[in-house]
Amino acid sequence: MSGGAVAAVDLGATSGRVIVGRVGPDTLDVRQVARFANTPVRAGVGLHWDVLGLYGDALDGLREALRTEPGIASIGVDSWAVDYALLRDGRMLGTPFHYRDERCERGVAAVHARMPHAELFARNGLQFLPFTTLYQLAAEDPALLEIADTALLIPDLIGFWLTGRAVAERTNASTTGLLHGGAWDDDLVDALGVPRGILPPLVSPGERIGMLRPDVAASIGARADLPVTAVGSHDTASAVVAVPMQAEHAAYISCGTWGLVGVEVPQPVLTEAALAANFTNEGGADGRVRLLHNVMGLWVLTETVRGWERAGTAIDLPALLTEAAAIDPAAVPVFDIEDARFLPPGDMPARIDAWCAEHSLRPPRTRAEYARAIVESLARAFTETVDAASRVSGVDVRAIHIVGGGALNELLCQRVADRSGIPVLAGPVEATALGNLLIQARAAGFVTGSLEALRDLVARTHAPRRFTPGA
């Protein structure tokens, strides 16, 4: 096999994985060596991530990766955005909160009392999301904030535990709302009462974070000088690296728990239209800008299925979707999947019923009808958001790329093509891990070139599946 080997730790909101990649000019082979559940825990004052458990699982996965591929040249870590840990003298203070915790509402009210969203948008270019880090920091226990000396986003926390070096990787730091022009916005940080000193130095994808700590290297059987490389540590940034698109004519949907729908642009779009459409300008690899909007994603479907399973019915999702595909779309309600009531965990069918009752629509009756209503509602939201992205950016969208787990949902892919009238190119499913691996491989010299060259490699090795409108 040609190319060099690198390892990706990719932590998603419901599961994490460790993936080994062999990457070269004509090679992009990936092998998953570990997959583990990420189960949030409601304990004490709120909903938390079990970050220590995740770190332990990541170490186990890396040990397995090195056992099967001793030549691994680098490790990179990505995860979901916005959430953070506070530390003092290297020790974690408390357990990081989950962005679906209710405390965010308090933070929104506190921040907007000082600065309205439009003013924030002019500075940080972000859409309004109630869990953006700056709102979470405003809801933080002031006593903890006072004694903390460092705040680390989740992948940076894992990187710190691996290397002992505390940094903030730029793509993920852009989701804090505290970044302006690629640097911490000190005036905003001060205005919001965030202690400046807790924000670590920024690094960009491709930069070396540091070598593994000797004790960590010994515990996973790694050589002492194995580096951890900054990647697009925001999972969506890594996914966008690996979208096999021609960016000037394409929209992407990174579809997992969330559906991140947008286009890539060279500069932030801070217009009235972008603000009104609630679009975000998140940082991408190589200084690109991800102009996108968070749509609810597969969360509503998976949470619905989880609820049925908790109530004692085992669900075969592929069979359910096949049944759902046979239903006439006109026979199910299309609801507003972006309604804030669908954000927290809970009884999704009951919330769908309530939405339908409020809008004088007949609610779904069977499990398959619920599944179809969710897919139709998601497909409509995706289509409308692609349309808005095109309008706001001026990108003439001729193909919609769906990457991530949603690329496996054939009904969803077909319905996005049907509703938009634009071909959908589905895959790769593992775009996030591929983007993570590619940035490391380029830093290690196994491949060269721009994001276009990296995307070309993805297109040659992971040809997407085409869904034609009306087929």
Instruction: Please identify every residue annotated as catalytic.
Output: 235
> In angstroms, what is the minimal distance from the CB of 296 to ligand LRH?
11
260 lines the binding site for ligand LRH (CB under 6 A): yes
335 binds ligand LRH (CB under 6 A): no
In the complex, what is the shortest distance from the CB of residue 103 to ligand LRH, in angstroms, rounded to a whole number? 15
Listed ranges 42-50, 67-75, 196-204, 253-261: which one lies at the site for ligand LRH (CB under 6 A): 253-261
Judged by CB under 6 A, the number of residues near ligand LRH is 12
With contacts defined by CB under 6 A, name the span among 74-82, 203-211, 303-311, 381-389 that binds ligand LRH: 74-82
Give the residue, chosen from 7, 8, 13, 104, that forms a contact with ligand LRH under the rule CB under 6 A.
13
Q: Which is nearer to ligand LRH, 57 or 235 (CB)?
A: 235
Of 80, 135, 160, 382, the residue at the interface with ligand LRH (CB under 6 A) is 80
Which is nearer to ligand LRH, 102 or 186 (by Cβ)? 102
Our finding on whether 81 is near ligand LRH (CB under 6 A) is: yes
> In the bound complex, what is the minimum distance in angstroms from residue 432's beta carbon to ligand LRH?
8
Per-residue interface string for the shown chain with ligand LRH, residues 209-248, x marking contact by CB under 6 A? -------------------------xxx------------
* Residues 280-319, interacting with ligand LRH (CB under 6 A): 294
Nearer to ligand LRH, 97 or 258 (CB): 258
Residues 265/289, Cβ–Cβ less than 8 Å: yes
* Binding range to ligand LRH, per CB under 6 A, among 79-87, 155-163, 208-216, 388-396: 79-87
Where does this chain bind ligand LRH (CB under 6 A)? Answer: 13, 80-82, 99, 234-236, 257-258, 260, 294
